[in-house]
Amino acid sequence: MAQSWEQNGGIHVDPAILAVLSDVTEIIDVTEVAETKWAKATRLQVRLSNETEESYFVKVSIGMHGREALRGEFLNTSEMHSVSPDLCPKPIGWGTFETDDNSHFYICKYYDFNEDRPPVEEFCRMMAYLHSKSVSPNGMFGFHCPTYNGDAPQDNTWCGSWEVFFSRGLRHILNLRDERGSPDPELDAMLPELFDRVIPRLLRPLETGGRKIKPCLVHGDLWCGNVSVDDDTGRPVIYDPSGFWGHHEYELGNWRPSRNKFTDYISTYYKYMEPSEPVEDLDGRNLLYSLRFNAQACTHFPDEEQWISMIKDDVAELLRRYPPDCLPPVDAGDEPLNIPQSGATQDNNIISAF
């Protein structure tokens, strides 16, 4: 991955990065802190004009998808920071290298983290605050642009219906898995019932019978790898989002699998942010949302049987719980679901898979 941190035996930082950090007078050190197949992260230590030292987190990615992923991360983090500045790093900027127009960067404040899990009460309270205080700019579900789960772009096209938005996003992720791997006939045979029966059964009651849900800003990939504890303050910090304005319960879908180490936080979260009605469907909705996160993980390992089996197990359990005769009775006051036209713009068109 082109970065040119080192040049002629000394430290070189691309001029575009220095333009964002306009108060820097000296580059002290650049240290790589993490690398994935789609991005590299470094700690940039500098001296400022007031003679103090500061450290920045700089993530670099390549190609058109790398650019869009970092743009989405900057905008998503900016939205979260505007609501709850103590919960996430302050985003500073993003852009394209001056010396290499195929390399792109995202910059935010750098933190020293410890290995502790976040304090359950404080973490759940802060997440509930983000969800309750954030307001969609147009009252719809979606986001200004695609956001990425790793290297997987999400369909964030604006929509007035959570059922439609969620269904469209899940189809997109499942199609992306097929594009990157091989179709699974057993899974494909179950999907029509999932989309035609189970999703309407679980999500339509949220928006009918006089009920509605407020779109709130979700992180979108909240697991133990994207939450840490700040060494200086002891507070939880969330980062690396792939979010949108959605249903607050969606966030907790990624807390269900034990591998993500947050299952025991769910009940505490609901002390601060009540579940939606009908409450009797809460666990079913959580399983459905967890399916979406498992499907996203499968896009990174499209042909690994353990991940495909996990998706099939989720779908099979949902079909078992909600058979054809499980549809809820229609309340006398129910009206047909009114789905506003999408508010999509060209800026939010989904980019095809890598």
pLDDT at position 115 is 84
Give CA–CA dist 27/25, Å, rounded.
7
Count the neighbouring beta carbons within 10 Å of the beta carbon of residue 333.
8
Residue, of 347 and 327, whose pLDDT is higher: 327
pLDDT at position 12 is 77
pLDDT at position 335 is 43
Encode 259-275: b = buried (16+ Cβ within 10 Å), e = exposed: ebebeebbeebbeebeb
The closest alpha carbon to 292, from 341, 261, 322, 252, belongs to: 252
Helix boundaries (H) for the chain: 15-20, 63-83, 120-133, 162-180, 185-193, 199-203, 266-272, 282-300, 305-321
pLDDT at position 6 is 42
With a pLDDT cut of 70, the percent of the chain lying above it is: 89
Task: State yes or no: pLDDT of 343 exceeds 60.
Answer: no
| Tens-digit pLDDT profile for residues 44-103 | 999 999 999 999 999 999 999 999 999 999 999 999 999 999 999 999 999 999 999 999
pLDDT at position 34 is 87
- Specify whether the CB–CB gap between 153 and 350 falls below 8 A: yes
Instruction: Enumerate the domain spans of the chain.
Output: 6-110, 114-348
| Tens-digit pLDDT profile for residues 282-302 | 999 999 999 999 999 999 998
**Same fold for the domain at 6-110 and the one at 114-348?**
no
Task: State yes or no: pLDDT of 352 exceeds 60.
Answer: no
Q: Which of the four CATH numbers 3.90.550.10, 3.60.130.10, 3.40.50.720, 3.30.200.20 does domain 6-110 have?
A: 3.30.200.20
Task: State yes or no: pLDDT of 3 exceeds 50.
Answer: no
Give CA–CA dist 219/213, Å, rounded.
17
Q: What is the mean pLDDT of residues 268-288?
A: 98
Task: State yes or no: pLDDT of 227 exceeds 60.
Answer: yes
Give CA–CA dist 220/79, Å, rounded.
13
Give the CATH architecture of domain 114-348: Alpha-Beta Complex (3.90)
pLDDT at position 167 is 98
pLDDT at position 303 is 84
pLDDT at position 349 is 41
For 32, residues 6+ apart whose C-beta sits below 8 A from its C-beta are: 40, 41, 42
Task: Using pLDDT thresholds of 50, 70 and 90, give the confidence band for residue 271.
Answer: very high
Task: Using pLDDT thresholds of 50, 70 and 90, give the confidence band for residue 309.
Answer: very high
Residue, of 341 and 294, whose pLDDT is higher: 294
Lowest mean pLDDT among 19-28, 182-191, 226-235: 19-28
